[in-house]
Amino acid sequence: MIAFPLGAETTPAELARDPHPRLAELRAHEPVSWLPALNGWLVTRRDLALDVMRDAGTFTVDDPRFTTAQVVGPSMLSLDGAEHTRHREPFAAPFRPREVREGFAEFIEEETDRLLTALEPHGAADLRRDFAGPLAVAVVTKALGLVDADTGTVLSWYDAIVRAVSDLTAGHAADPAGPEAYARLRAAVETTVVEGAADAEATEAEAEGTVVAGAAADAEAAADAEAAVPTTSLLTAAADRLTLPEVASNAAVLMFGGIETTEAMITNALLHLLRHPDQLALVRADSALLDGAIEESLRLEPGAAVVDRYATRDTTLGGAAIRKGDLVTVSLAGANRDPAVFPEPDRFDVRRDNSRLQLAFAHGPHYCLAAHLARLETRIALRHLLDRLPALRLDPGRPTAPQGLVFRKPPALHVRWG
């Protein structure tokens, strides 16, 4: 406490409510500070945050205290080194830029239009609960392709699992509904993998028969039949390299990240634009600035404000002596407003030329797997909202602001139009 007086004064309530003034003080005077309230270190300077996230050998996620793993088991989120690679690689291909555009763009366009068509006549809505959340759930449901699991079912599982993780993070026993929901998700994953493998095998055999039969008579028809074999689903493909429990653990992590942080990404970006009419006018006048607005919003208010690591050995970081086993929390929110990188860091500027240097998707081996999908989803959602609701504005009678210690977004985003 003597060595880190600012850290000693910092409370979780302050960081959850409005962390940015305190984070600026810490970054300037105690960039690696001991916070007794968190029983760990908080890193707020961007260069030091990068050092932690790049060095999985010294700062690992693979620790029994990692709460998500306590609920869903080991996954790409809670493993490092060769095991992390083994869990992550089977899921990587569908989330590359080209595959994301080809596999999801049309669906996101259609789902966005469907949601807005339902909302438009009302003239007012909570765009977090009525738009951003349902869109994020729908996209995750499509990505996972679970058999007999609609968006409502996936959302109920997600809510229960998140509550259990939050309970453990707060030091309480997990709500039993969380493990029960995960058991149902795991069963759905198993059914999806088994049925997907059987369907793929049957379709492949049928197509091969068509190719053989048509080889002599009609080569073009045979080629068409071969090309018509559907791509193996995400979960079925992963099951070729992982056990079913491992596929289920990673499906839960994808569900968690795809809903929680993408809902926040859309909601926070809308809030920033509507709070800054001058910047909104720039985006309306030049649609090419929309990407800049999204990156600036991610910089100012990342949906995941922090990421946790655990020291594997005694080390020194930013002058602080960290002991083996210490919790080291990286403040992405603090790093993203580092004035050494971002001049006037508290200003929302859609023309900022280096906003892509923000760390909202983390960095290093645990960089967000679905970052391209989250960006695409947010870009389409904002474009449709601004095109279809030209009079969109915040409801002055229901003000809001982002909040949350770990995940930050407004509890609601009430708007009007028309």
Q: For each of the domains in the chain, give its residue range(s) and CATH number, in order of start.
A: 5-348+382-416 (1.10.630.10)
> Which residue shows structure tokens 């809001």?
400
Average pLDDT over residues 130-148: 93
User: What is residue 226's predicted lDDT score, i.e. its pLDDT?
Assistant: 39
The total number of residues shown for the chain amounts to 418
With both helix axes pointing from N to C terminus, report the angle between 244-275 and 290-300 in degrees, rounded to the nearest 10.
Answer: 100
SS3 content of the chain, % helix, strand, coil (to 5): 60, 10, 30
Percent share of the chain, pLDDT over 90: 82
Average pLDDT over residues 257-268: 95
User: What is residue 96's predicted lDDT score, i.e. its pLDDT?
Assistant: 96
pLDDT tens string 302-320: 999 999 999 999 999 999 9
User: What is residue 256's predicted lDDT score, i.e. its pLDDT?
Assistant: 87
26 three-class SS: helix
Beta bridge partners of 403: 409
User: What is residue 216's predicted lDDT score, i.e. its pLDDT?
Assistant: 47
pLDDT tens string 331-372: 999 999 999 999 999 999 999 999 999 999 999 999 999 999
CB contact burial 107-116 (16+ within 10 A = b; e otherwise)? ebeebbeebb
pLDDT tens string 275-303: 999 999 999 999 999 999 999 999 999 99
User: What is residue 233's predicted lDDT score, i.e. its pLDDT?
Assistant: 80
Please give the structure tokens belonging to residue 228: 């018509």
Structure letter (DSSP) for residue 339? T
- What are the Cα distances from residue 149, in Å, to 14, 85, 137? 39, 28, 12
User: What is residue 8's predicted lDDT score, i.e. its pLDDT?
Assistant: 96
Percent share of the chain, pLDDT over 70: 91
Average pLDDT over residues 43-56: 98
- Does position 223 have pLDDT exceeding 50, yes or no? no
